[in-house]
């Protein structure tokens, strides 16, 4: 499978500008990748303006994703604000050509940024298969909680969509590699660059990591770009067979 991670500079609370820019970036990947990964709140930046910016599950951004995915022949994913019934979620959405769709609601709203006051936390992890690869998505602050991300022998690729500030980039770099090592899986992290409306700076540092914790490819800091790498399920399964760490993992249950 070929993974592509997009690292954009997002316009603050400006959907039309972000979707236009991202449309051009994503379209450059038509026919050369299987899965395109966008960062957290890719259409607005990390805003709490839920009343103004949240959408219905089948709103503008969803249809934009479907159109790009269909034209490019790839899966497309990332998170944005979605209103459903009485709740607003920071929702990761995956679409692919045809009718395929999967969703994951961020489990750990970032309380230090006030996200928990505006967004309802998710209650379920997501694992789904796409083109023979088992994928599990997470959003930004989720990265700090390894129990929630634990591979139960059902994940091949973990995706982290983020708006992770430059001031904590070292944590981002270390934890992404840790999640790959402890779970014996590939990890792809997509982060933005630039400065948001709250004056918070982002350096990107998006990357794709192998199950040994080695960085396969990474984006340059502070540069808007797309990175692509091919991952091998044969190599992954061979590594797990030779070094079966997951066979000795502890069983546990998560209370929600």
Which one of the listed residues 77, 102, 140, 185 is annotated catalytic? 140
The question of whether 102 is a catalytic residue gets the answer no
Which one of the listed residues 55, 66, 102, 106 is annotated catalytic? 106
Instruction: Map residue 208 onto helix, strand or coil.
Output: strand
Nearest to 191 by CA among 178, 213, 175, 180: 175
Which one of the listed residues 40, 55, 66, 77 is annotated catalytic? 40
Determine contact, residues 127/136, Cβ cutoff 8 Å.
yes
Q: What are phi and psi of 245, to 5 degrees?
A: -60, -40
Whole-number Å distance between alpha carbons of 69 and 65? 6
The question of whether 67 is a catalytic residue gets the answer no
Distances (CA, A) of 17 to 52, 124, 231: 16, 32, 32
Residue 31 gets the label, from left (phi > 0), alpha (psi -120 to 50) or beta, of left
The question of whether 40 is a catalytic residue gets the answer yes
Task: Identify the residue whose tokens are 């709740």.
Answer: 87
Nearest to 121 by CA among 133, 108, 111: 108
**What's the CA angle centered on 124, arms 254 and 216, to 5 degrees?**
95
| Active centre residues (catalytic) | 40, 106, 140
């Amino acid at each position: 499978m070929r993974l592509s991670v997009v690292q954009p500079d997002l316009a603050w609370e400006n959907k039309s500008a972000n979707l236009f820019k991202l449309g051009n970036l994503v379209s450059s990947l038509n026919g050369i990748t299987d899965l395109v990964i966008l960062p957290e709140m890719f259409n607005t930046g990390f805003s709490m303006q839920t009343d103004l910016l949240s959408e219905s599950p089948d709103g503008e951004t969803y249809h934009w994703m479907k159109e790009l995915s269909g034209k490019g022949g790839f899966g497309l994913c990332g998170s944005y604000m979605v209103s459903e019934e009485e709740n607003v979620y920071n929702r990761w959405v995956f679409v692919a050509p045809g009718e395929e769709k999967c969703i994951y609601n961020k489990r750990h709203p970032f309380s230090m940024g006030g996200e928990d006051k505006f967004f309802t936390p998710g209650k379920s992890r997501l694992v789904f298969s796409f083109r023979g690869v088992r994928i599990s998505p997470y959003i930004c602050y989720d990265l700090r909680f390894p129990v929630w991300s634990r591979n139960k022998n059902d994940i091949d690729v973990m995706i982290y969509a983020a708006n992770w500030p430059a001031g904590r980039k070292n944590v981002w770099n270390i934890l992404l590699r840790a999640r790959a090592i402890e779970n014996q899986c590939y990890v792809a992290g997509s982060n933005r660059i630039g400065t948001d409306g709250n004056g918070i700076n982002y350096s990107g540092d998006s990357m794709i990591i192998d199950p040994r914790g080695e960085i396969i490819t990474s984006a340059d800091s502070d540069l808007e770009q797309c990175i692509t790498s091919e991952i091998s399920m044969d190599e992954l399964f061979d590594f797990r067979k030779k070094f079966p760490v997951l066979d000795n993992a502890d069983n546990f249950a998560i209370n929600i």
